[in-house]
């Protein structure tokens, strides 16, 4: 049995994580035919959760939003017409329940910004917006949750377009955040030569030792880091760039990519000091630039199969509890950018 009330976090005002507060709220008494009630066990955080808390997220966000896009948990109740799930199944949610297959058509609909998120003890989902983990899954709840946003995004960068990654190709990751490290693990398992950039030699050393990245470039000590990337690839450039930096790094990413290579626009961590001439740079490289919005349900299913088949472990670096103090510590750690990987909040 479960309680009639639950604890739920809300962004009470978008002026910093200190305003992410816990509330006691009623659990729904009734499930619609195709709904399930999930006891959430783990929520992983992403850079966007800081942006939502700070009011800087560049997409619609509802007032008093429940933050968080990534949850893993167990089904505790199912609606009368739910066929594919049963009580006890371990599940993860989709980042965007409207993104099922193919090019995204719907307006933005993502948990923790334009629709209510997952930082709560329980959540009602429609049965189309969750995926089941295999009964013999090796993943912890934290690792499974980490796949929802960072994992699916990285998978989309490699396998989401016609220019799909082929074993032996080279992939460049900008920074050592959640998308990069999760992507690095996936890319290596798929047979990539990998290059990562960072502001910190300590982080690079850590990533080399722990994840076996092939080449490291410090973008502070090498402001012209694209030249180091070109050197590392014997003058050719990389096949894929996972572009987390945004307007401040795109010109250098275009300089780093090989003729005909692919750049996936993922992040907005940096600002350009002057606007680069993207049109000419893209044209002369014959490059493909793709905008990424995490990924579809179909891509997420592929990712879960791959991770299960390869028994991959996900990069959970710091674990926190569900009290307000612990949740604020988790946000503080995320904002400090002093980790190479993911942060999880374990939900009581
Ligand atoms: N479009 C999408 O679908 C999608 C999905 C997920 C994430 N995102 C976006 O992608 C970006 C990364 O997200 P995340 O969750 O992985 O972030 P994260 O875990 O918070 O990681 C941030 C890391 O990025 C690195 N970084 C900071 N400024 C940088 C810069 N100017 N150039 C290169 N690296 C820089 C830092 O690592 P170092 O100290 O090692 O440099 C920092 O630790 C964010 O902008 C996020 O909003 C977009």
- The Å distance, Cα 319 to ligand 1 centre, comes to 19
Per-residue pLDDT of the chain (348 residues; tens, 9 = 90+): 667 999 999 999 999 999 999 999 999 889 999 999 999 999 999 999 999 999 999 889 999 999 999 999 999 999 999 999 999 999 999 999 999 987 776 667 899 999 999 999 999 999 999 999 999 999 999 999 999 999 999 999 999 998 999 999 999 999 999 999 999 999 999 999 999 999 999 999 999 999 999 999 999 999 999 999 999 999 999 999 999 999 999 999 999 999 999 999 999 999 888 888 899 999 999 999 999 999 999 999 999 999 999 999 999 999 999 999 999 999 999 999 999 999 999 998
Residue ranges of the chain that CATH labels 3.40.50.720:
161-291
- The Å distance, Cα 266 to ligand 1 centre, comes to 8
Give SS3 for 295: coil
Per-residue confidence (pLDDT) for residue 106, from 0 to 100: 63
| Contact call for residues 306 and 139 (beta carbons, < 8 A) | no
User: Is the distance from the beta carbon of residue 269 to the nearest atom of ligand 1 less than 6 Å?
Assistant: yes
pLDDT tens per residue, range 88-134: 999 999 999 999 987 776 667 899 999 999 999 999 999 999 999 99
CATH class of segment(s) 161-291 = alpha beta
Give SS3 for 267: coil
- Other C-beta atoms within 10 Å of 138: how many? 13
User: Is the distance from the beta carbon of residue 46 to the nearest atom of ligand 1 less than 6 Å?
Assistant: yes
What does the alpha-carbon distance between residue 200 and residue 189 come to, in Å, rounded to a whole number?
25
Residue ranges of the chain that CATH labels 3.90.180.10:
5-150+295-346
Contacts of residue 94, defined as CB under 8 A and 6 or more positions apart, other chains included, come to 129, 130, 131, 148, 297, 300
At 298, phi and psi to the nearest 5? -60, -45
The pair of three-digit structure tokens given for residue 36, joined into one six-digit string: 């399930």
Question: What is the residue with the minimal CA distance to atom 43 of ligand 1?
Answer: 337
User: Is the distance from the beta carbon of residue 292 to the nearest atom of ligand 1 less than 6 Å?
Assistant: yes
CATH superfamily of the 5-150+295-346 domain: Medium-chain alcohol dehydrogenases, catalytic domain (3.90.180.10)
Question: What is the residue with the minimal CA distance to atom 11 of ligand 1?
Answer: 267
At 277, phi and psi to the nearest 5? -85, 80
- Other C-beta atoms within 10 Å of 77: how many? 17
Question: What is the residue with the minimal CA distance to atom 10 of ligand 1?
Answer: 267
């Amino acid at each position: 049995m479960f309680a009639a009330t639950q604890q739920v976090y809300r962004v009470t005002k978008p002026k910093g994580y200190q305003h992410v507060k816990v509330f006691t709220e009623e659990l729904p008494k009734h499930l619609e035919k195709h709904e399930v009630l999930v006891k959430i066990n783990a929520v992983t955080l992403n850079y966007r959760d800081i942006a939502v808390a700070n009011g800087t997220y560049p997409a619609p966000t509802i007032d008093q939003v429940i933050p968080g896009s990534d949850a893993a948990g167990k089904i505790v109740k199912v609606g009368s017409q739910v066929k594919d799930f049963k009580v006890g199944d371990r599940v993860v949610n989709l980042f965007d329940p409207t993104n099922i297959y193919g090019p995204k058509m719907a307006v933005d609909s993502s948990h923790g910004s334009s629709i209510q998120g997952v930082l709560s003890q329980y959540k009602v989902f429609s049965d189309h917006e969750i995926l089941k983990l295999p009964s013999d899954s090796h993943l912890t709840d934290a690792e499974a949750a980490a796949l929802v946003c960072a994992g699916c995004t990285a998978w989309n960068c490699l396998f989401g377009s016609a220019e799909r990654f082929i074993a032996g190709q080279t992939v460049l990751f900008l920074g050592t955040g959640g998308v990069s490290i999760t992507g690095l693990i996936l890319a290596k398992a798929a047979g990539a030569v990998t290059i990562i950039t960072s502001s910190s030699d300590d982080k690079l050393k850590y990533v080399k030792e722990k994840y076996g990245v092939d080449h490291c470039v410090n973008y502070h000590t090498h402001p012209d880091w694209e030249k180091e990337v070109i050197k590392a690839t014997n003058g050719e450039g990389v096949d894929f760039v996972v572009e987390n930096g945004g307007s401040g790094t795109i010109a250098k990413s275009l300089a780093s990519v090989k003729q005909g290579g692919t750049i996936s626009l993922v992040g907005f961590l940096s600002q350009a000091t002057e606007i680069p001439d993207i049109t000419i740079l893209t044209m002369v490289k014959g490059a493909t630039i793709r905008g990424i919005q995490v990924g579809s349900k179909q891509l997420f299913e592929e990712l879960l199969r791959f991770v299960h088949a390869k028994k991959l472990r996900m990069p959970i670096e710091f674990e926190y509890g569900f009290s307000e103090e612990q949740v604020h510590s988790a946000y503080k750690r995320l904002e400090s950018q002093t980790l190479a990987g993911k942060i999880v909040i374990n939900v009581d």
